[in-house]
Structure 1
């Protein structure tokens, strides 16, 4: 199958979403001039153009898009052509109200925004297929076309009657019989037993807590229905252009989409990244998402969207200080991105996102935003031939699974303070601050290539996943797990003993007596550190080392950290400095070293192939000790031993 390399061809892609339909045609020629000056070589067209392309049912207006496509080709700028199906025209909802999604309270989500489509609607799917078919037939041979972009940020939940009908079919395929469904959902509780498939609905608003396994299956169903929509359009464009890659852009770590499963169906894995410029851990947040996307892609990936300046959807939308856009863009390149793109090219003057930045801001060509974009484009052009296609696998894997997240995120859980993404972030942050490079992996993936595997939290694990972890440790791997792992099976059924017996034996837990969640801001004293969020009343077996015990309170003297052979278990979440020290110690014992030793705080070192990226995430100049002699591809200067980086400075070092 075609891939990103068929589009990049030895250069980094640089550009973003272009919405020429928002502007008079005389502006288009000015845009092309500015794009060429900035080094833009790729634009995405048509993402939200359905009403323009199909102003009335069945009518087609491709003339304006023909002129834009020709203009891009003449300028040597490739086009990632989107199917416009993320935002149906008003006429569709007006003529076919059943195409509109319904929330869990029965309220219709109307047009006037975006993503107002029911993934289960047969009418929506028919119209989406028709416009995709005509686009692919019309533009499949156009010389500007380089890639297809299906829909945009799939993120629609739907509780409608049509979704309920498809949910029943989905459940019948999964379980076969109502008896199996009732068993999986535990419907003996609260008199929920189903005697007819017609009684089964989407988990709508209820008087009290909803059935947790029904909610789990609804999330699985939602991910699968959205995937069906993607696959239908993907297969249409593939039939017309089998030589071109196809993608759709993930929202970062979005709860409603099993991105491991989706990535298997994409030729190019792409993501949208919008870390907050005021967040002191914004760079780590971006690094987590970059590591995750690279791991899903198993190689180079595409940054489909980022902001050149402020966004418009936070409570307060801060601009990026000078240099931060360049720094975060090059951080993505360091972590495997072969395409650096933005939403959007020119900042809109009207509409809901008129305060969301563009590569060309309201300040225009002389504005700082465009001038910084122009500098970045030149630098990406300078290093592209050296970096494109390069990929580095790492010695540490962080395990993550959407199904486990979904299972643990139910109303009746023990603590609303335990937020899975925050726990995942805390563990990745500890490794990032220790300058330890990481991949992400699914718990059923082949882990044999990793020296260290960490499990921040996997509440629900399949038998296959558990056996995979046991096999990994038996083969000599080092495993470190956080609390509340292996508690439930794939149906959110609590394992006997409160934790799978195989994992209890692996970690040296004789008995898990009780869970003791902590209140917001509460900590628990342990030997040498403080724990947060959680604690557990566990009893170790005689073969297990109690590496740290709780001190004081109800759990005084009981294990907080267990170690049995190459497996460790943390019954709490240590504060950041202590978690970092623990994981650094585990990595060292597993034979994993930091990318660079002795880095100052806030400085990041990342290897991509033979290249060493050094990134300064602080506002002050720093001096970094680097081993040996290098050439900085950004400046052309030779670097030996000491490297000085200014505020938000970056070096791309080649031996």
Structure 2
């Protein structure tokens, strides 16, 4: 069955609220205090058993269920639902000792020694056998308990074993290549193996991209694709076991969707999730962490069908422990981040973790209950958030309306951009995409960050930023969008190579040259510290190009230097009112913002006080408008309806405290 809000089958009756719960770290007396504090905070769902394999299966085929039986019963007695994990993120010591071959090897063929997590090769059949056995044992023992409401397969798959280079993986890679290409002639042509004399005469000669030396980028790209597929195959194998025992329980795994491509191709995985779920953590060094929250939510929403809600399975109450300098969140940030995720479409707010660990690798990672206990500002904020989420229960199942701006993001394009030497090896694919997202976010535009195969219907502006790898189908669909009246913006380093990582000849950006009516003769990447200025006053750094505008109007030209007078930004008008804009220069954030403002019809949302973000969710009868004040100043906006967090009517001025959130409930619009 397909798990959906349409069937009223969300795991909890209200918005899901809770955390990873690791009772095995604590004495049983602490368990009683845990459920008291959970009830007090309004927790209704916990993810249980994520790292418990070695505590349940204490030796090969020898199970000790006593402690887990007790905690499962305790949670049931207190009305707390369980998202039960298969504990395959943490293979037990007895398994690793008996079968050291399951450990993944890095690109220098060095083993990943025990002591971390996800210490297993996704292609290893021995590990797969043991993993499916523990998954079945858990399903048979707990899957029919009323308060076990969903399955959580492993944990952050790929976050430690994203790529394994061992001989087992190599053999699986060769099989994957044979299935994809069929013949060596096809593979050699796709990879361009004549370069450096690397033509293959037997599939048996092909190895993963081991070592640090330069490799054929097409080989590296296919190994990235293979690695994602192997992890997906493992997820699907566990899912099949769980569904065979509990066909009506939803199954998911936690993505790690952010602004950079990951080792897992999440949009291609999403259709295999009954509930699409994510883990998201802001970075201490990020100058715009609130925009990173928005970017992640705008990607997650685009991965669901019909813009249905998704679930946030992990984020942090305050500081994490794995960054160089771990910033504690400021007053109100915990609540603001959480409600921003709800505004972006999440119907669940869960944290890592419930109680801060006294020992182990993440002992200084924040939690819902900190080391100092319940008499803390942090736990009081947790309780406040719990009350807010109970108040916001009517938001459940509502959906974001059609966005006006779509921004394309593809993990494969990101892999291709980093998988081999490039003209500027300091450019970040995620940063190029996020710069465009930040511009429209500042304008309070509705945005979705889309995989290239999405339906573009309904968007007004489609941005193609740094889509280095572009296949013919994507190029044709982008062209069709513009010819139907939409505005397309193509940035530098888009459309450069095809799906096999082969450069498209005849001038950059080859996939979009005809659409744009302009083309680049030569890349002119700037050196560190170099900048440029355009004749409209815009500035930038990092990237310039020698562009010819044959069928396009020049919007801005370079001033001075070797490119003085040459086109930097062009626009080609198309029939039906469409246009195609080419941005060949690495504009700074102010210039991208100015260009973004010129591409969209102004709305009232664009004139809100600085730092106020507006998010909308709707059902058939009502509209829920989230006003999130990221600034340090109180703000006033115009709104009409019932403010849900204060339960006050609003007709005109709505006051939003500095760092605060207000949610206005009103009748449906449109």
Residue 464 of structure 1 deviates from its aligned partner by: 0.7
Give the aligned partner of residue 659 of structure 2: 648
Q: Which runs of 5+ in 1 are unaligned?
A: none
In the alignment, does 2:337 pair up with 1:334?
no
Other-structure match for 1:408? 417
1:509-544 CA distances to partner (integer Å, 9 max, x unpaired)? 1x4210011223422111220122211101111x31
Partner of 2:647: 636
Moved more, 574-583 or 595-604: 595-604
Change (3 A) 1:500 1:440: same
Give 1:374's match in structure 2, choosing from 367, 375, 383.
383
Query: 1:622-654 CA distances to partner (integer Å, 9 max, x unpaired)?
Result: 22x214x22110001122222222221100011
User: Which stretch shifts more, 147-156 or 512-521?
Assistant: 512-521
Cα 1:165–1:501 shift into 2, 3 Å: closer
Question: Take 2:661 and 2:373, find their aligned partners in 1: how far apart are those partners?
Answer: 26
Cα contact 1:301–1:338 (8 A) shared by 2: yes
Aligned equivalent of 1:79: 82
- Over 3 Å counting, the alpha-carbon distance change for 1:595 and 1:58 in structure 2 is farther
Distance 1:90 1:607 in 2: 48
**1:508 Cα offset (Å):** 1.1
- Counterpart pick for 2:58 among 13, 30, 55: 55
Q: Does 1:494 align with 2:503?
A: yes
Match of 1:223 in 2: 228
Q: Distance in 1 between matches of 2:569 and 2:630?
A: 33
Hey, what does 1:248 align to over in structure 2?
253
- Residue 456 (str. 1) matches residue 456 (str. 2): no
Q: Which residue matches 1:557?
A: 565
Match status 1:24 vs 2:27: yes
Partner of 1:441 in structure 2? 450
1:586 maps to what in 2? 599
Q: Which runs of 5+ in 2 are unaligned?
A: 574-578
Q: Indicate whether 1:110 and 2:113 are aligned.
A: yes
2:155 to 152, 157, 161: 152
TM-score (normalised: structure 2): 0.94
**What CA distance in whole angstroms lies between the structure 2 residues aligned with 1:142 and 1:268?**
20
| Alignment check: 8 A CA contact 1:10 1:388 kept | no
**With structure 1 as the length reference, what TM-score do the two structures score?**
0.96
Give the equivalent residue in structure 2 for 1:233.
238
Residues 263 and 604 of structure 1, relative CA distance in 2, 3 Å threshold: same
Contact 2:12 2:81 in 1 (8 A): no
Question: Shift in Å at residue 334 of structure 1?
Answer: 0.4
Q: Is the 8 A contact 1:8 1:388 kept in 2?
A: no
2:549 corresponds to: 540
**Cα RMSD between the aligned structures?**
1.4
| 2:585 is aligned with 1:572 | yes
Distance change >3 Å, CA 531–CA 77, structure 1 → 2: same
**8 Å contact from structure 2 (residues 504, 511) kept in 1:** no
Contact 1:435/1:595, CA 8 A, preserved across alignment: no
CA distance in 1, matches of 2:256, 2:147: 27
Alpha-carbon separation, structure 1, partners of 2:377 and 2:284: 16
Q: How does 1:172-251 map to 2 (within 5 A)?
A: 172-206=178-212, 208-251=213-256
CA distance in 2 between counterparts of 1:312 and 1:506 reads 47
Shift of 1:454: 0.7
User: Is the Cα contact below 8 Å between 2:16 and 2:349 reproduced in 1?
Assistant: yes
Q: 1:507 aligns with which of 503, 506, 516?
A: 516
**How far is 1:502 from its partner?**
5.7
Distance in 1 between residues matched to 2:568 and 2:520, nearest whole Å: 12
Secondary structure of 1:552's match?
A: coil
Corresponding pairs, count: 646
- Corresponding residue for residue 138 of structure 1: 141
> 1:446 Cα shift?
1.6
Query: What residue number does 2:576 align with?
Result: none
Partners in 2 of 1:392 and 1:232 — Cα distance?
35
Q: Does structure 2 conserve the Cα–Cα contact (< 8 Å) formed by 1:184 and 1:491?
A: yes
- What is the Cα deviation at residue 69 of structure 1? 1.2
- In 2, Cα distance between equivalents of 1:88 and 1:631: 51
Instruction: Say whether the 8 Å CA contact 2:496–2:510 is kept in structure 1.
Output: no
1:2 counterpart = 2:12: no
Farther off after superposition, 492-501 or 632-641: 492-501
Aligned counterparts of 2:530 and 2:274: Cα–Cα separation in 1: 46
For the residue of structure 1 that corresponds to 2:20, the secondary structure is strand
Compute the displacement of 1:8 (Å). 4.6
- Do the aligned residues in 2 keep the contact of 1:306 with 1:342 (CA within 8 Å)? yes
Aligned mates of 2:151, 2:11 — CA distance in 1: 14
Partner of 1:313: 322
Deviation string 1:454-513 (CA, Å, 9 cap, x unpaired) is 11110111111111111111111111111111111001100012336562121111x421
Rounded to whole Å, the distance in 1 between the matches of 2:170 and 2:583 is 41
Shift of 1:10: 4.8
Matching residue within 373, 395, 399 for 2:408: 399
- Distance between the aligned counterparts of 2:588 and 2:654, measured in 1? 32
* Aligned-residue offset at 1:385: 2.0
Q: Per-residue displacement from partner, 1:77-133 (whole Å, max 9, x unpaired)? A: 110000000110111111111100000011100111111110011001010011001
> Is the contact made by 1:596 and 1:626 (CA closer than 8 Å) also made in structure 2?
no
Cα contact 1:595–1:607 (8 A) shared by 2: no
Matched with 1:281 is 288
Match of 1:495, SS?
Answer: coil
Cα distance in structure 1, aligned partners of 2:490 and 2:383: 45
Structure 1 range deviating more: 322-331 or 279-288:
279-288
Query: Residue 403 of structure 1 contacts residue 460 of structure 1 at CA under 8 Å; is this kept in 2?
Result: yes
Q: Residues 282 and 289 of structure 2 are in contact (CA less than 8 Å); yes or no, is this contact kept in structure 1?
A: yes
Q: 1:501 to 1:376 in 2, by over 3 A?
A: closer
Any runs of at least 4 consecutive aligned residues in structure 1 with deviations exceeding 6 A, and if so which? none
